[in-house]
């Protein structure tokens, strides 16, 4: 019997309309937010407590602007020059919105992190993306 998750890559087969290098950083952050959210949701569901309130609280520890900002700070020393450039593009993008529970700097860093995730996803740098996503689960 085949593993249903082995075909997961075929589920997401809509490439962006242009090269990831040419996409607006907020577009990269948009998809990066979704990729990171799915990753974290899979992680919390892999645990034993499946009460919806618990799942939401557990996920929020990772996906809030504050948590993502702190994660990006921890990630910076291991990022490549190319990744740092993408982070800077995401950080400097003017979104026109603000986070409910974060200051402006945390929100910008959170957007920068999501931009990096979106970039790696659309570059199909899945091994590197996994390293960075797994890093998010390490000690805070």
Show which residues are catalytic: 33
Contact yes or no for 87/72 (Cβ under 8 A):
yes
Nearest to 32 by CA among 87, 106, 100: 87
Contact in structure between 110 and 68 (CB atoms under 8 Å):
yes
Give the list of residues 6+ apart from residue 77 with CB closer than 8 angstroms, or none: none
Closest CA to 63 of 118, 105, 98, 113: 113
Tokens of 58: 């557990």
């Amino acid at each position: 019997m085949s593993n249903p998750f082995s075909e997961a890559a075929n589920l997401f087969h809509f490439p962006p309309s242009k090269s990831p290098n040419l996409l607006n950083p907020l577009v990269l952050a948009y998809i990066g937010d979704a990729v990171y959210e799915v990753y974290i949701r899979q992680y919390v569901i892999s645990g034993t407590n499946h009460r919806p309130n618990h799942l939401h609280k557990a996920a929020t520890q990772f996906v809030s602007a504050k948590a993502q900002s702190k994660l990006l700070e921890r990630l910076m020393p291991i990022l490549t020059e190319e990744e740092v450039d993408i982070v800077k593009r995401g950080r400097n993008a003017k979104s026109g919105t603000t986070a409910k529970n974060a200051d402006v700097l945390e929100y910008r860093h959170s957007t920068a992190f999501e931009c990096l995730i979106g970039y790696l996803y659309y570059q199909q740098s899945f091994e590197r993306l996994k390293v960075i996503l797994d890093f998010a689960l390490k000690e805070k």
